[in-house]
Every structure is written in C-alpha cells, then in structure tokens.
Amino acid sequence: MPRPFPESDLILNSRGSIYHLDLRPEEIADIILVGGDPGRIKKISRFFDRIEFKNQKREFVTHTGYYKGKRITALSTGIGPDNIDIVFNELDALANIDLQKRIPKPNHKTLKIIRIGTSGSLQENIPPDSFVFSTHGIGQDGLLNFYKIKYNGNEKSLCNAFIKQFPTKGIFARPYAVEATLDGTSFLSNGFIPGITVTCGGFYGPQGRILRYQLTLVDFIKKMNGFNWRDHKITNFEMETSAMYGLGKILGHKTCTVTAIVANRISGEVTKNGSKAMDELIYRVLENVKDLS
C-alpha cells in the first residue's frame, strides 16, 4: 500500500474538502470551465439547464450543473500562474487521490479543463472582440521550473526559438513552452484564431505597460510582435495558459484556452463591448463541450 500523503502536504477542511477550493470529489464534473474572474462563473452557469451545487471560498467560486444533458463545473481561478498552481493541484487531488486514505486512486481520471478568459492581442490584424484558441503557451513566470516535466520536440523547439528571439540576459526566469492537449478542431472550424499565447507573471510591467516606472526591457511589445516560429506568430498574452498546459500535462489532464481579445497592444484599440463578446464566447464554448465524450 502506498505511503499516505502527510496532512501538511494534502490539507483538508473539516468537512473533508480540499483546502483552498473547499470542494469534495462529488462536487465537480469531469468537464471544468475555468475563468479568472469570480463574476464570470454566474455568467457561465446562467446558461445551465439546472445548477446542482454552488460554493465559494476566497476567490474560488464553483457552480456545477448541466448544459443540454452534459454535467459541467464552472470554477473561478483568480489571476495568475500562482493561482493556477493551486487550482490544478487541488482539482487533480479531487479526481485522483482518495482523500480519506490520503493515497492515489488505483485508476487515473482525466479531467477536461477549458479556460474561458480575456487577453491582449499582439498582432494588428487580431482586433478586439476576436476569439483566440491557444495552440501553445509560453511561460515567462517560472512556475514549471519547479516541476519535473518531459517536453516534446515541438515544445523544445518553440522554447528555444523564444529564448533566441527574446533574449533577457538572465533577468527573467527561464521560459518554457507547452502545447494544448484538448483538441481544438471544433473551435478552429468556428472562427477562432489559432496562435501562440505568452503567459506573463503580471499585468503591468510584465506585459510591457509603462506608468510611473521604467522597464528592464523597453522593446518588449515589438519583440513579441515580431516573433516567428515555423511561420507561427505570438497572437496574444495573458496570465494563466502556460501554467495550465504544463500542470495539465504533468498531472494527465486535457487542457485548452480560448480568450476574447479586449485590447490590441499594437493598434492601441480596446473593446467597445467586452461583456457582449464574453457572453458569445461562453455560449460557443458550451456548444462545443456538450459533445465532448
């Protein structure tokens, strides 16, 4: 019998729920839609035919219900790779650890996790309110450097190209690149733009914004815009995707990210009706996931 995970590594609440999310295994579906904004969860669940479970702890809001017969969980992650680290580890524990015995379950369960989010465009021809499917995530946050992970040939090639074309002289954490593992064919056939997404460790300086300070890299946006890997461009950047893809790969879950563009960092345009675009994105995702097996 495996050695039980210590209480300090696998922390549970008094009701037997996982520590931060405050969830028990039966309270989540195998298909999980995640978004950074806690307010986005009720926007997702209002499309549900019925909601069977609601919960909130800190920024982690959970609604589990049914959409056209498919059981789905909508869960807010909060912002950033550090929150993704918490959410993915705890979701995996709910799916693949016997919480009472504190040992791995004998049969691995693969969750399907889709991020519905917002991002900034790095190409002039991708305007606000466009929808992007992230084929790959490049992480500048350093999170995956703490985990053992085996990258495939394409991921290594993309990472090396990024390091070569985006030299940081050792200022930043070593980047990493991971590809989506949930098939995006249905999204791409319905008008979503495929592209490489860069995940940043912050919103202001890490995304090249300049307010009352100076940056260590002054041509940040220009280099992102000009990046090329096998004729693929960096389409957008945000703060979660690469961490999702990496932890999903390590833990054996299928992941992808779809985002609505809220700002174009090349043209300077911003969305005129971001709420409408998000509603449309949510509906399109639900229509795609209802047919997932």
Show the tokens assigned to 97.
Answer: 């650890």
CA atoms within 13 A on the CB side of 247: 24
Residue 282: inside a domain: yes
- Phi-psi sector, 137: left (phi>0), alpha (psi -120 to 50), beta: beta
Tell me if 7 is assigned to some domain: no
Count: domains in the chain: 1
The helix (run of H) or strand (run of E) holding residue 154 is helix 153-165
Per-residue pLDDT reduced to its tens digit, 211-244: 999 999 888 899 999 999 999 999 999 999 999 9
Question: What CATH number is attached to the domain comprising 96?
Answer: 3.40.50.1580
Task: Please report, rounded to a whole number, the percentage of residues in the chain having pLDDT higher than 70.
Answer: 100
Per the domain annotation, does 217 fall within a domain? yes
pLDDT tens string 27-80 = 999 999 999 999 999 999 999 999 999 999 999 999 999 999 999 999 999 999
pTM for the structure as a whole: 0.96
Domain extent at residue 284: 25-289
Angle, helices 241-251 vs 81-96, to 10°: value is 30
Single-letter amino acid, residue 271: T
Residue 2 domain flag: no
